[in-house]
């Protein structure tokens, strides 16, 4: 069972019913008279998280004076998102793909750096003993740090 959307009222429900459970319109699944939306076909890009460089493909449903109502998936036809017109762009799949690929690379790089930093963090020795609250005596295997400064 996949999700479908009634073209009349934008209710979203499971495929296979003969009438819209919301507005009772008889549903036609195929042909020129089809009145159900079965696939998500974006026609714009929206930027809805300020400070993020994430773009999302969306379907423009309704235009207001300063905002638009969009759906970023079929289920959102029934409860559309409000996005400022100024944050709505034409649907440009190749630009979206480039941005997405670079965002994925950045995420992978950040994870690699985080993992390397974590290795060093795991090597830190607490200054204070948690039990006694006294400064930790150096464990036997802790390397001694020379405080002698040699002036050459």
Residue 78 vs 81, nearer CB to Zn ion: 78
Among 5, 6, 58, 59, binds Zn ion (CB under 5 A): 6
Q: Candidates 17-25, 48-56, 100-108, 114-122: pick the segment binding Zn ion (CB under 5 A).
A: 17-25
* Whether the Cβ atoms of residue 30 and residue 38 lie closer than 8 Å to each other: no
Q: Three-state DSSP class for 59?
A: strand
Q: Which residues contact 44 (CB under 8 A, 6 or more apart)?
A: 57, 58, 59, 60, 68, 70, 88, 89, 90, 91
Residue 36 vs 83, nearer CB to Zn ion: 36
Q: Which residues contact 26 (CB under 8 A, 6 or more apart)?
A: 18, 19
81 touching Zn ion, by CB under 5 A: no
Minimum separation from the CB atom of position 37 to Zn ion (A): 11
Minimum separation from the CB atom of position 80 to Zn ion (A): 15
Binding mask 21-60 for Zn ion (x = CB under 5 A): -xx-------------------------------------
Minimum separation from the CB atom of position 36 to Zn ion (A): 9
Minimum separation from the CB atom of position 77 to Zn ion (A): 10
Q: Which residues contact 32 (CB under 8 A, 6 or more apart)?
A: none
* Residue 122 CA: distances (Å) to CA of 74, 119, 126: 45, 5, 10
* Whether the Cβ atoms of residue 81 and residue 72 lie closer than 8 Å to each other: yes
* Residues lying near Zn ion in the complex (CB under 5 A): 6, 8-9, 11, 20, 22-23
């Amino acid at each position: 069972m996949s999700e479908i959307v009634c073209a009349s009222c934008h209710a979203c429900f499971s495929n296979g019913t003969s009438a819209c459970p919301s507005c009772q319109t008889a549903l036609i699944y195929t042909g020129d008279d089809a009145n159900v939306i079965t696939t998500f076909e974006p026609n714009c890009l929206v930027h809805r998280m300020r400070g993020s460089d994430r773009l999302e493909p969306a379907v423009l449903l309704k235009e207001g004076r300063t905002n638009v109502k969009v759906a970023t998936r079929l289920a959102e036809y029934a409860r559309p998102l409000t996005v400022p017109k100024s944050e709505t762009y034409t649907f440009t799949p190749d630009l979206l793909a480039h941005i997405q690929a670079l965002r994925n690379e950045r995420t992978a790089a950040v994870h690699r750096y985080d993992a390397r930093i974590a290795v060093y963090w795991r090597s830190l020795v607490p200054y204070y003993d948690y039990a006694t609250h006294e400064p930790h005596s150096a464990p036997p295997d802790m390397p001694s740090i020379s405080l002698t400064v040699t002036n050459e």
